[in-house]
Chains A and B, each alone.
Chain A
Amino acid sequence: MSKILLIAEHDGATLNPSTAKCVACAAQISGAEIDVAVFAEEGAAVAAQAAELQSVSKVLQLDNPANANALAATLAPQVSALADGYSHVFGPSTTFGKDLMPRVAALLGVNQISDIMEVLGSHKFKRPIYAGNAIVTVEASPDLPVVATVRTASYQAIEAGNSAAVEAASPDADLPTHTRFLEIQAGKSDRPDLQTAAKVVSGGRALASAENFDLIFKLADALGAGAGASRAAVDAGYVPNEMQVGQTGKIIAPELYIAIGISGAIQHLTGIKDAGTIVAINKDEEAPIFEVADIGLVGDLFDIVPQLTEAVSSQ
C-alpha cells in the first residue's frame, strides 16, 4: 500500500492552495494513506488548515525556529529523515517545491519525477517535457521511494471538511547554518493570486511601457481577475517577475485567460494550455496566440482594451 508524505507549502500563517492540489493528486493513487508535514517556526494554524483537507490521514507539525523560512538546505535533511517508512514523498511544483524536492531526492538516493500531471498507478505517471510539447509516461522503480513534484495546474484543490489528527514530530537531523534567509520582497497586490484566480488578464510587450500596463490592471479589476504578463513584458521591466506566466514562470489554469498584446511563444502557451477559455487580443492576425485562442479579436489593444473594460464594468 502507498504511504505518502506530502510537504505543505505555507507562509507561516496560511496554507498555500498548492498543498490542496497536491493532496488531490496524491488521492488519485488508490488506497493511499496521505500524511501532510508542516515545517514552520510555529505551525499550529497551518497544520489546522491542512487537517481540514479531505483524504488526509494525519498532519505532522514540525516546529523549529530554523523552519521560520523555507530554506531547502535546512528542510531537506528533516524531510529525508521523516521519509523513512513512506513509499512516496510529494511536494508542489512551485518555486518552493522545485527548490526543495530534488535536494530531498538526492539525500534519499533517488531521481525525482518532476511535474506529475496525471496518475496512472502508484509508480506510473504522466509529465510534460519540452515546454509541454511532448507528454511522457514514466515509471519509477517499485523498490525505491518515489519523490515527486505535482504540476498544480493539473489538479483542482481537494475539498475541506476533514478533521485529521495533528501530531507534533521532530525528526533527528543535523541542520546546516551555511544558508541564511535575508528577506522577501513580495509584490503588493489586492488582486486575486495568479495561481488560483478564476480569471486572469495578461499583457505582453505590445503594452510598450510600465504606465500602459494600467490598461491591463483596469480590465483585471473590472473582471475581478488576477494580472499576469509574458516574459517579454517582464524582461522589459514593465512589471515584476512574479507576474510572469509560462514555462519558466507560473503555470496557471484559470477559467478565463485574456492575452493582450502577447504573440504566444510556445514557452508562454505552455503556461496557459489548461485554461478553460483563452481570449486573444492582438493586432497581428498571424500571431501564434490565435492558434490556441477560443476567441480571437484582431485589432489595436489601445482601442480595444478601454472599450472592453467599460463594457465589462457596465455589466
Chain B
Amino acid sequence: MEKILVGLKRVVDYNVRVRVKSDGSGVETDGVKMSINPFDEIALEEALRIKERGEASEVVVVSVGGSEAQQQLRTGLAMGADRAILVVTESELDPLTGARVLMELVDREQPGLVLLGKQAIDNDNNQTGQMLAALWGRPQATFASEVVLNGDTAKVTREVDVGLESIDIDLPAVITADLRLNEPRYVKLPDIMKAKKKPLDEIQFAEMGVESAVPVANLQFEPPQQRAKGIMVDDVAGLVSALKDKGLL
C-alpha cells in the first residue's frame, strides 16, 4: 500500500502519578513530563515495520492539539515516520470530534491503513479508533497483538477477554494496537537530528470544516477513595490466621 496514517496523542507520561487539583477542576499537568501515548508508540512501531518489510511506502504521523504536540510528532519522525501533520487546536477535543478530524485527514491522504493506540492513558476512553472506522464505513480490528498483511486484506489477532481472536479484514481499515503487538524502538541521536528536517505541516482545526460533536461535560474531578491501612504479618501462620479472622479461609 502507499500510505499508513498513525495517530500520536500527547499525554502525561506513563510513569507520572497523576494528582487531582485541589479545586477539583482537573488533574495537575503543569510541569509534568509529557510523552507519546504508549499505545500510539506501539502503533507507530508497527507501521514502521510494515514499511521496512516493503509493504507500505510512506508513514504519516498525525496529532491533534496545541503547538507543544510538535514534540511528540518530532519524536515520531525520529522513530522513522516520513512526515507529520499537526491539527492545531487549543481546546481539548472529545473522541467523536477527534475521529471526525481523522476522517477528514483520511479523505485528504487516502491511506491504505490507519494505525492507532487502543486507548489513550489519560482519559482511558478507548473510543477514537472504533469511531473512525464507523465514520469511514470500514473494518476495525481493535486490541491487535499481531497483524499480517496479505495484499488487499489483513489477518489480525486480537487480545480479547477469553483469549485470542483472529479476524480477516479488507483494507483500508483501522487497527488499534494492544501492548504485545511489538516493542517500540529507541530513538537514536542522529535520527533526532534528521527528524528536524522532515516535513511537519500544521492545519488549523477551525479551517478544516469539521463539525464539533457535543462533548460529555466533565463537571468535577476527585481523587479515588483510599484503602484503609493494612497490617503486616510475619509468617504463613500469621497470614492464615489473619485470613481466618476475615472469614476468608
Decide if A304 touches B236 in the complex (CB within 8 Å): yes
Partner of A311, one of B129, B163, B217, B236: B236
Known: A106-B135, A134-B18. A179 touches B96 (CB 8 A): no
Interface flags for A170-195 (1: CB within 8 Å of B; 0: not) read 00000010111111111100000001
Decide if A138 touches B218 in the complex (CB within 8 Å): yes
The interface centre, meaning the residue of A104, A134, A178 with most chain B CB atoms within 10 A of its CB, is: A134
Complex formed: what's the CA distance from A277 to B248 in Å?
Answer: 9
Complex formed: what's the CA distance from A115 to B124 in Å?
Answer: 9
Partner of A72, one of B122, B130, B227: B130
Complex formed: what's the CA distance from A115 to B243 in Å?
Answer: 31
Partner of A141, one of B178, B214, B234: B214
Decide if A136 touches B249 in the complex (CB within 8 Å): no
Q: Is the interface of B mostly helix, strand, loop or mixed?
A: mixed
Interface flags for A247-280 (1: CB within 8 Å of B; 0: not) read 1101000011000000000100000010001110
Decide if A184 touches B233 in the complex (CB within 8 Å): no
User: Which residues of chain B are within 8 angstroms of A105 by Cβ–Cβ distance?
Assistant: 96, 127, 131
Complex formed: what's the CA distance from A109 to B139 in Å?
Answer: 18
Partner of B180, one of A72, A132, A241: A241
How far does the Cβ of A36 sit from chain B's closest Cβ, in whole Å? 19
User: Which residues of chain A are within 8 angstroms of B249 by Cβ–Cβ distance?
Assistant: 312, 315
User: Which residues of chain A are within 8 angstroms of B170 by Cβ–Cβ distance?
Assistant: 178-179
Decide if B166 touches A248 in the complex (CB within 8 Å): no
How far does the Cβ of B79 sit from chain A's closest Cβ, in whole Å? 20
B140 lies within 8 A of chain A by Cβ: yes
Decide if B121 touches A130 in the complex (CB within 8 Å): yes
Binds B, one of A59-67, A208-216, A293-301: A293-301
- Near A by CB (< 8 A), chain B positions 133-158 give 133-135, 137-140, 142-143, 145, 155, 158
Decide if A137 touches B127 in the complex (CB within 8 Å): no
Interface residues in B, total, Cβ within 8 A: 82
A287 lies within 8 A of chain B by Cβ: no
B107 lies within 8 A of chain A by Cβ: no
Decide if B160 touches A96 in the complex (CB within 8 Å): yes
Decide if B130 touches A295 in the complex (CB within 8 Å): no
Complex formed: what's the CA distance from A180 to B230 in Å?
Answer: 50
Decide if B133 touches A73 in the complex (CB within 8 Å): yes
The interface centre, meaning the residue of B168, B179, B249 with most chain A CB atoms within 10 A of its CB, is: B179
Partner of B163, one of A96, A130, A242: A242
User: Which residues of chain B are within 8 angstroms of A115 by Cβ–Cβ distance?
Assistant: 124
Decide if A133 touches B17 in the complex (CB within 8 Å): yes
B125 lies within 8 A of chain A by Cβ: yes
A307 lies within 8 A of chain B by Cβ: yes
The interface centre, meaning the residue of B127, B131, B217 with most chain A CB atoms within 10 A of its CB, is: B127
User: Which residues of chain B are within 8 angstroms of A179 by Cβ–Cβ distance?
Assistant: 139-140, 167-170
User: Which residues of chain B are within 8 angstroms of A130 by Cβ–Cβ distance?
Assistant: 12, 18, 27, 121-124
How many A-B pairs fall under 8 Å by CB? 248
User: Which residues of chain B are within 8 angstroms of A119 by Cβ–Cβ distance?
Assistant: none
Complex formed: what's the CA distance from A293 to B226 in Å?
Answer: 11
Complex formed: what's the CA distance from A114 to B219 in Å?
Answer: 15
User: Which residues of chain B are within 8 angstroms of A102 by Cβ–Cβ distance?
Assistant: 95, 126-131, 134
Decide if A114 touches B161 in the complex (CB within 8 Å): no
Partner of A137, one of B124, B138, B219, B242: B219
The interface centre, meaning the residue of A112, A240, A290 with most chain B CB atoms within 10 A of its CB, is: A112
Decide if A297 touches B235 in the complex (CB within 8 Å): yes
Known: A106-B96, A247-B121, A292-B227. A111 touches B127 (CB 8 A): yes
Decide if B219 touches A139 in the complex (CB within 8 Å): yes
The interface centre, meaning the residue of A72, A73, A132, A247 with most chain B CB atoms within 10 A of its CB, is: A73
Q: Which 8 A-B pairs have the closest CB atoms?
A: A102-B130, A106-B134, A106-B131, A102-B127, A182-B166, A178-B170, A294-B230, A95-B160
The 20 sampled A-B contact pairs (Cβ below 8 Å) are A71-B167, A100-B130, A102-B127, A106-B131, A107-B134, A112-B125, A114-B124, A129-B122, A130-B122, A130-B124, A131-B124, A135-B221, A135-B222, A255-B248, A292-B230, A293-B230, A294-B230, A295-B242, A297-B234, A297-B235
Chain B contacts to A: CB under 8 angstroms: 12, 17-20, 27, 94-96, 99, 118-119, 121-135, 137-140, 142-143, 145, 155, 158-170, 173, 178-180, 213-224, 227-228, 230-240, 242-243, 246, 248-249
17 new A-B contacts, CB < 8 A, other than A105-B127, A136-B222, are: A102-B95, A102-B127, A106-B131, A106-B132, A111-B94, A112-B125, A130-B27, A133-B19, A134-B27, A178-B170, A187-B163, A240-B164, A250-B161, A277-B248, A299-B235, A304-B236, A311-B237
